Amino acid sequence: MPEQLDSALAEVRGLLLDPGLTRAVAAGRRRGQRPSVVRAELRPVSLKSGTRLQITTSDGSRPYTRNVAPGAETGTAVDELLAEPFGNWHVETTTTTVQLRVTKSGEAQVHRAATARPEAAPAGHDREKAYLLDPGDPIFDVIGGTAAKRRQVDAFLRALAATLPDDLTGPLRVVDLGCGNAYLTFAAHRYLTGRGVDVELVGVDVREDQRRRNTELADRLGYGDRVRFVAGTILDAAVEPTPDLVLALHACDTATDEALARAVRWSARWVLAAPCCHHELAAQLRTQPTPEPYGPVTRHGILRERFADVLTDALRAALLRLHGYRVDVVEFVDSRHTPRNLLLRARRSSAGATAEQLAEYRDLLRQWQVTPRLEALLPGVPGRSADHH
């Protein structure tokens, strides 16, 4: 429920001055207003002269750091920051985490939760890292989610955190292609705003009933002005403005190729894609002779299907490289939780494709006599050659 902004900021002030403060971030801007800095981060530091509150602000090009003494000096510095028209505050103390977002109408949307703690681990093992998004966060009261789903959310957020620059403040435009029930859509928005990133997110799903459901959840969470949903296909849904980050998590079969193709056409800076089922190349392999000496690889159905999975994603990664992306293929979530645990993580680069990368791709196509769907979706890809078939 929306709250009075003055009262909510007074609560934030108390937390910023609390001895238990561990970290706070202010970022974004209110409607029609612009703060004098794009981001401010506060945290306590221990110096030879004693404990100080370290305040780091950024104008978008360079950071400025100062350490203020406790008492009146800290109070004045905190009041100056609270007077700035930031759109988001994220404050963590040893016991409490508060997320404040200023709505279009100038009210405060506030989420409060206990600060996440590392879970206890079995004897002889290191303690597990704390969740990036507390499993007890109020967002889960709205979107639901089993324990397994929350582990998947955390695994995804860790991949996202490893992809984006640490000093990113935004504006960041994100699209989630094939968002389904939008667990990860909402989690991404919650996490990124908690990092102080000014983010707008669009979820795309082919089903109109999902669009209505997800829009209702966004309104309940108070995200309606920053998270919106459209109904349409991955290839054709209207997405404006052009996104910086493209997500495609467990889009089935060639839907992943469609998402990757749109990301390339948008020249998206970052792409995170977790493929789901793989059928297209498996069907092609069944109709083509297996090159020597790889007969044993495809002789048994289950091995042929698994090899098709590997070949599909290897070709996807190769095509992304040929289109100017640096690509990592990593584990998305532990295979105990889902067998579909591979993640393609790509970052746009200024480097062009090398002759060696092009030759590798062409040789792979020629040897296995396959045509990946992603190549067909990207006209002009240099992989096509006269001796391809």
Express each pLDDT in 327-379 by its tens digit: 999 887 654 544 557 899 999 998 878 889 899 999 999 999 999 999 999 86
Q: How far apart are CA 373 and CA 315, in angstroms?
A: 10
pLDDT, position 252: 79
Q: What is the mean pLDDT of residues 195-217?
A: 92
Q: Is the pLDDT of residue 285 over 80?
A: yes
pLDDT, position 129: 53
pLDDT, position 46: 86
Q: How far apart are CA 369 and CA 287, in angstroms?
A: 10
**Residue 386 binned pLDDT confidence (cut-offs 50, 70, 90):** very low
Q: Is the pLDDT of residue 94 over 60?
A: yes
pLDDT, position 53: 93
pLDDT, position 269: 96
Of 264, 223, 228, the C-alpha closest to 246 is: 264
Q: How far apart are CA 25 and CA 195, in angstroms?
A: 7
Q: What is the mean pLDDT of residues 30-53?
A: 88
Q: How far apart are CA 148 and CA 120, in angstroms?
A: 17
Report whether 108 contacts 101 (CB < 8 A): yes
Which one is predicted more confidently, 323 or 149? 323
Q: Is the pLDDT of residue 123 over 60?
A: no
**Residue 117 binned pLDDT confidence (cut-offs 50, 70, 90):** low
End-to-end alpha carbon distance in the chain: 62
| pTM score | 0.71
Run of H or E residues at 40: strand 39-47
The radius of gyration of the chain from alpha carbons, rounded to an integer in Å, stands at 24
Report whether 132 contacts 158 (CB < 8 A): yes
Q: Is the pLDDT of residue 169 over 90?
A: no
Give me the chain's average pLDDT, please: 86
pLDDT, position 381: 58
pLDDT, position 138: 75
Q: How far apart are CA 54 and CA 188, in angstroms?
A: 27
Lowest mean per-residue pLDDT among 56-60, 62-66, 125-129: 125-129
**Stated length of the chain:** 389
pLDDT, position 121: 39
Q: What is the mean pLDDT of residues 99-119?
A: 80
